[in-house]
């Protein structure tokens, strides 16, 4: 069975040597990276990428290998919002769930009739289990218990909203089955859960995550397993899904039982319209500093270049990324 391995063991450090001495982006150029809510892991991914880009720019100024990239990674509505804004040319990069990368590139699911051929994969980052979390006094133990409850299905544009809709369709559940379906963002939903304003929330996010910790350890919420024949069918039929286990008491000390669910990979994407030189510099900044990058969030602990250039990627790799991966001997 396909399974994601969550980052529990620190992997041995790896060192990379610099390649060319001359940067191809010599004049000033500004790039924006779409992330997710400020309490998520995407926000850390985007800002960590910018940090490495600026580090390379600063070091380049003293070593003579200058590049002119300036980077910002604002919080956004999440995966589908990011891909849409990259398509519009408003963002140059974004973080997106592997399922939405697949659907946008192939024109399927939410992206039917709106196929985005120029979407390009850059690398993948951490696994993201789809997490259904029920409030302490909600009485919810399984998916079927959501009937008649207030369920936060997430803000439009977020990855979890899209994946929740896919799961609801597969389960034969409609919003009418709930007492109410709310559309709170990832940063609003835990407060609402802990205040008893909603009974359950859904979040596709890396492990560990502070907001999930606040729900589980802070107000006694619990995971609801998602491993029935419906999820098994989704995982079997779709290359971008795999099962993941969040082990009891490991990331969240009040979590009493292992949580079993399905999930996706967080991926870093761009557009064929973004120049090869810009993508090359961004990719180079990340991989030349991967050990530093990995220290910026515990969900990054197991990142490994060989997997990052293939896992969860369905759109073609950007040519600028391929240039760097070939230089490193990671690709033929």
Alpha-carbon separation of residue 320 from 1, 14, 16 (angstroms):
34, 23, 18
| Residue 155: both structure tokens together | 């803000």
Minimal distance, residue 21 CB to ligand GLU, in Å: 36
Is residue 124 within 8 Å of residue 265, measured between CB atoms?
yes
C-alpha torsion angle, residues 299, 303, 309, 311 (rounded to 10): -60
Helix (H, G, I), strand (E, B) or coil at 45: helix
Minimal distance, residue 247 CB to ligand GLU, in Å: 20
Neighbours of 222 (CB within 10 A): 20
Based on the shown chain and the rule CB under 6 A, indicate whether residue 46 belongs to the binding site for ligand GLU. Answer: no
Cα 307 from Cα 79, distance rounded (Å):
21
Cα 255 from Cα 297, distance rounded (Å):
21
State which of residues 32, 79, 101, 131 lies at the interface with ligand GLU (CB under 6 A). Answer: 79
Based on the shown chain and the rule CB under 6 A, indicate whether residue 128 belongs to the binding site for ligand GLU. Answer: yes
Applying CB under 6 A, which part among 101-109, 135-143, 156-164, 211-219 lies near ligand GLU? 156-164
Based on the shown chain and the rule CB under 6 A, indicate whether residue 52 belongs to the binding site for ligand GLU. Answer: no
State which of residues 36, 135, 298, 320 lies at the interface with ligand GLU (CB under 6 A). Answer: 36
- Residues contacting ligand GLU: total by CB under 6 A: 17
Question: Which residue has tokens 């990979």?
Answer: 265
State which of residues 6, 25, 41, 317 lies at the interface with ligand GLU (CB under 6 A). Answer: 41
Minimal distance, residue 80 CB to ligand GLU, in Å: 7
Based on the shown chain and the rule CB under 6 A, indicate whether residue 124 belongs to the binding site for ligand GLU. Answer: no
Cα 75 from Cα 37, distance rounded (Å):
5
In DSSP notation, 131-177 reads: EEEE-TTS---SGGGGTTSEEE---TTSHHHHHHHHHHHHHT--GGG
Minimal distance, residue 43 CB to ligand GLU, in Å: 6
Based on the shown chain and the rule CB under 6 A, indicate whether residue 78 belongs to the binding site for ligand GLU. Answer: yes
Applying CB under 6 A, which part among 2-10, 103-111, 158-166, 304-312 lies near ligand GLU? 158-166
State which of residues 94, 129, 159, 312 lies at the interface with ligand GLU (CB under 6 A). Answer: 159
Sign of CA dihedral 154, 155, 160, 165: positive
Per-residue contact flags (x/-) with ligand GLU for residues 248 to 287, judged by CB under 6 A: ----------------------------------------
State which of residues 7, 34, 42, 104 lies at the interface with ligand GLU (CB under 6 A). Answer: 42
Q: Which is nearer to ligand GLU, 205 or 216 (CB)?
A: 205
Minimal distance, residue 332 CB to ligand GLU, in Å: 32
In DSSP notation, 249-304 reads: TTSSTT--S-EEEEEEEEEEEEETTS-HHHHHHHHHHHHHTHHHHHTT-GGGTT--
Applying CB under 6 A, which part among 24-32, 38-46, 108-116, 319-327 lies near ligand GLU? 38-46
Cα 305 from Cα 300, distance rounded (Å):
12
State which of residues 34, 40, 60, 84 lies at the interface with ligand GLU (CB under 6 A). Answer: 40
Is 189 exposed, middle or buried (CB count within 10 Å of its CB: 0-12, 13-18, 19+)? Answer: buried
Site for ligand GLU in 80-99 (CB under 6 A): 97
Per-residue contact flags (x/-) with ligand GLU for residues 188 to 207, judged by CB under 6 A: ----------------xxx-
Q: Binding residues for ligand GLU, per CB under 6 A?
A: 36-37, 40-43, 78-79, 97, 128, 158-160, 186, 204-206
């Amino acid at each position: 069975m396909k399974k994601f391995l969550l980052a529990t063991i620190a992997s041995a450090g790896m060192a990379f040597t610099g390649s060319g001495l001359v940067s191809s982006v010599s004049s000033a150029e500004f790039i924006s990276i779409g992330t997710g809510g400020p309490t998520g892991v995407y926000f850390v991914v985007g800002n960590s990428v910018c940090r490495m880009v600026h580090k390379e720019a600063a070091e380049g100024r003293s070593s003579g290998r200058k590049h002119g990239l300036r980077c910002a990674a604002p919080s956004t509505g999440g995966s589908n919002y990011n891909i849409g804004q990259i398509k519009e040319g408003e963002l140059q990069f974004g973080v997106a769930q592997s399922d939405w990368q697949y659907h946008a590139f192939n024109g399927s699911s939410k992206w039917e009739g709106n196929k985005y051929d120029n979407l390009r994969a850059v690398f993948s980052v951490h696994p993201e289990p789809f997490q259904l979390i029920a409030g302490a006094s909600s009485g919810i133990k399984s998916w079927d218990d959501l009937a008649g409850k207030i369920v936060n299905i997430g803000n439009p544009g977020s990855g979890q909203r899209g994946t929740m809709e896919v799961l609801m369709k597969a389960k034969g559940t409609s919003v009418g089955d709930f007492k109410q379906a709310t559309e709170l963002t990832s940063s609003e939903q835990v407060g609402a859960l802990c205040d008893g304003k909603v009974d359950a929330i859904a979040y596709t996010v890396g492990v560990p995550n502070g907001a999930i910790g606040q729900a589980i350890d802070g107000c006694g919420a619990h995971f609801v397993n998602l491993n029935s024949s419906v999820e098994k069918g989704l995982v079997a039929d779709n290359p971008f899904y795999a099962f993941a286990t969040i082990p009891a008491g490991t990331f969240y000390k009040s979590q009493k039982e292992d949580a079993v669910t399905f999930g996706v990979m967080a991926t870093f994407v761009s557009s064929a319209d973004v120049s090869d030189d810009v993508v090359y510099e961004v990719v180079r900044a990340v991989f030349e500093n991967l050990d530093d990058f990995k220290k910026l969030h515990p969900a990054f602990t197991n990142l490994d270049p060989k997997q990052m250039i293939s896992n969860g990627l369905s759109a073609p790799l950007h040519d600028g990324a391929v240039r760097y991966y070939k230089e490193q001997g990671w690709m033929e």
